[in-house]
Chains A and B, each alone.
Chain A
Amino acid sequence: MTLDSESSLTASAPAATCETLVELKNVSFGYTKARQILSGINLIVPRGKLVAVMGGSGCGKTTILRLLCGQIKATSGEVLVSGQSVAAMTHEQMYAHRRKLGMLFQFGALFTDQTVFENIAFPMREHTELPEDIIHDLVLMKLNAVGLRGAAKLKPSELSGGMARRVALARTIALDPQMALYDEPFAGLDPISLSVVGQLIRRLNDALGMTSILVTHDIAESLKIVDYVYFISEGKVVAHGDVAAIKASRDPFVRQFVDGQPDGPVGFHYPAKALAEDFA
């Protein structure tokens, strides 16, 4: 999965194989007819890999995760998970599909009326018949994996942002999901927490044999841990490749993103009238 030419960065769609877990085929989506979020996206995530989806704010990254969870349906194209169309799933199939995935929300989405322990135990209690003593041990193991066994009795309101993100991470992997979706896991974290969360995501992916999709704009941390990167802009995949290809790329979009340059294909300003007209 290396990219060896600039043309392949922007033009070619990746090819699906029997190892493909997730495939988006020409997917378009818009919350209103006037504003399309995704416009004919093609994306493939092989089993066992950690794939990052990057792009500027509002480019449709989180929308891809919501399509994969079945929270929204594509207006055209197909979202396939293990070869099965998410949009065509019945209610029962959708719930079976969701039981196999874990999602880390951007702000954690921890249940504020429950303790850290209860938050991790929640999916276990809802979906398994395990006795309480086994759940107790499993929860402490998950918390230990994210370094927060000692915080089991705390409420989410007593946690720092980084701790809350780690608890949410432990809840995401509570049932050892087949696929983990991470929505901006690095947002608002201090450098130490950021590095710890990044390494955890990588280690958990490999240790549990998961497939992970990471939506982020943190290019530096992501390139340390992911296997493959998709860049999205204006609802389209504009570049994709493995870490080495991304680092070596001379594609203007990739360079602007990787180097954090203010000028380039991605405009800083939201579309507006000419400055002179507004200040006239």
Chain B
Amino acid sequence: MNGVTRWLTRLGASVTGGIARLGFATRFFIAIVRLSGATFARPQLLLREIYQAGVLSLIIILMSGLFIGMVLALQGYETLVRFGATESMGMLVALSLVRELGPVVAALLFASRAGSAMTAEIGLMKTTEQLAAMEVMAVDPIARVVAPRFWGGVISLPLLAALFSTLGIYGGYLVGVRLIGIDAGAYWGQMSAAVDWKYDILNGVIKSVVFAVAVSLIAVFEGYDATPTAEGVSAATTRTVVTSALAILALDFVLTVIMFRGGAG
């Protein structure tokens, strides 16, 4: 009986702890939005974070996009050639990237590269009392440290996802047209005929914006909420990557159901 009681107590504590954390994260998000004025009033703060989160993630995003587009073309060719539909290669590569792989893989890479860096930086600022020093100087760390990083991430990720898809399409072109020998006109023509601006591209952009908000919020929250020790920051950084990945995949499923369940619009 004692064992059952202890188990129930632990379960209860875990559930109430989780709810409390969710509540804290929600209040934290509201505080970020409420205190975002300074971020936009001082563009140099925002530009610095766009550089840190966006520009410094360019290499991994561009290279990954290029290789994923190339692999997509190779794998796609293997299937399409069986049906004599190799001229649809451009459509296959573009739709896969714009609708799914672009927003999802870019967000996963962004969470690993920039999200973890944001968490570690804010967590270490907390550990070394830099956030406390700011508070004592009557400067709100949410306004000065958290909000610029959050918006830097929100602005950067959709742009990175767009670049990821662009490089992926070019990678598909290199393999499909230049290496395998598919007609370039068919590659680009099928693509431009099949990809719809609103249904495919806009929905892809909406996805990447939603992922950007989720990943950036998780990253700054985990940093701000980190236990101020070396292992606390390490655990928070790991949580950022794991939670972001799960959030991206779960949100992707929900958004795909909402956006694409009715077929081509």
Measured CB to CB, the residues of A under 8 A from B are: 69, 71, 95-96, 98-99, 101, 103, 105-107, 109-113, 122-123, 126-127
Whether, in the assembled complex, B130 has its beta carbon less than 8 Å from a beta carbon of chain A, the answer is: yes
Does B128 lie within 8 Å of A103, measured CB to CB? no
Q: List 13 A-B contacts (CB under 8 A).
A: A98-B135, A103-B136, A107-B128, A107-B129, A109-B129, A109-B132, A110-B130, A111-B125, A111-B133, A112-B130, A123-B137, A123-B139, A127-B137
B254 within 8 Å of A (CB atoms)? no
| Docked pose: A98 CA to B137 CA in angstroms | 6
The residue from A96, A105, A113 contacting B133, defined by CB atoms under 8 A apart: A105
Q: Is B41 an interface residue, CB under 8 A from the partner?
A: no
Contact (Cβ within 8 A) A126 B137: yes
Our pick among A103, A106, A110, A126 for the contact of B139 (Cβ within 8 Å) is: A126
Distance A18 CA – B113 CA, assembled complex (angstroms): 58
Indicate if B193 sits at the interface (CB-CB under 8 A).
no
Partner-A contacts on B (CB < 8 A): 121, 124-125, 128-130, 132-133, 135-139, 144
- Contact present for A127 and B138 (CB under 8 Å): yes
Bound CA span A101–B124, Å: 25
Instruction: List residues of chain B with CB within 8 A of the CB of A101.
Output: 136
B128 touches A98 (CB 8 A): no
Contact between B132 and A105 (Cβ–Cβ < 8 Å)?
yes
In whole Å, how far is B41's beta carbon from the nearest beta carbon of chain A?
12
Least distance between A177 CB and chain B CB atoms (Å):
10
A99 touches B138 (CB 8 A): yes
Say whether A98 contacts B132, CB under 8 Å.
Answer: no
Kindly list chain B residues whose C-beta atoms are within 8 Å of the C-beta of A103.
133, 136
Q: How far is the CB of A183 from chain B (nearest CB, A)?
A: 9
What is the minimal beta-carbon distance from B144 to any residue of chain A, in angstroms?
A: 8
- A112: which of B128, B132, B138 is its contact (CB, 8 Å)? B128
> What is the CA–CA distance of A112 and B124 in the complex, to the nearest angstrom?
10
Closest Cβ–Cβ distance, residue B122 to chain A (whole Å)? 11
Contact of B136 among A98, A106, A107, A126 (CB under 8 A): A98
Residues of A within 8 A of B130 (CB): 109-112
Q: How far is the CA of A106 from the CA of B133 in the complex (A)?
A: 11
What residues of chain A lie closer than 8 Å to B132, measured between beta carbons?
Answer: 71, 105, 109
Cβ of B128 and Cβ of A109 under 8 Å apart? yes
CA of A127 to CA of B136 in the docked complex: distance in angstroms? 13
B129 adjacent to A95 (CB under 8 Å): no
Give the top 10 A-B pairs by smallest Cβ distance, nearest first.
Answer: A109-B133, A98-B138, A109-B129, A95-B138, A99-B138, A103-B136, A105-B129, A69-B136, A126-B139, A123-B137
| Contact between B136 and A71, CB atoms less than 8 A apart | yes
Q: How far is the CA of A127 from the CA of B144 in the complex (A)?
A: 13
Q: Closest chain B residue to A94 by CB distance?
A: B138
- What separation, in Å, do the CA atoms of A105 and B138 have in the docked complex? 15
A101 to B138, CA, bound (A): 9
Residue of B whose beta carbon sits closest to that of A69: B136
Complex CA–CA separation, A98 to B128 (angstroms)? 20
B48 CB, min distance to chain A CBs, angstroms: 9
CA distance A106 to B130 in the complex (A): 11
Given A69-B136, A126-B138, 20 more contacts at CB 8 Å? A69-B135, A71-B132, A95-B138, A98-B135, A98-B138, A99-B138, A101-B136, A105-B132, A105-B133, A106-B129, A109-B128, A109-B129, A109-B130, A109-B132, A112-B128, A112-B130, A113-B121, A122-B139, A123-B137, A123-B139
Q: How far is the CA of A109 from the CA of B135 in the complex (A)?
A: 12
Report the bound CA distance from A111 to B129 in whole Å: 9
Q: How far is the CA of A96 from the CA of B138 in the complex (A)?
A: 7
> A99 contacts which chain B residues (CB < 8 A)?
137-138
Contacts of A96 in B (CB 8 A): 138
Residues from chain A with Cβ under 8 Å of B124 in the complex: 112
Contact of A71 among B135, B137, B139, B144 (CB under 8 A): B135
Q: Which residues of B contact A110 (CB under 8 A)?
A: 130
In the bound assembly, the distance between CA atoms of A95 and B124 in angstroms comes to: 24
Distance in Å: Cβ of A45 to nearest Cβ of chain B: 17
Q: Which interface residue of B137, B138, B144 has the most chain A CB atoms within 10 A? A: B137
Point out which of B135, B138, B139 has the most chain A C-beta atoms below 10 A from its C-beta: B138
Min distance, Cβ B65 to any Cβ of chain A, angstroms: 29
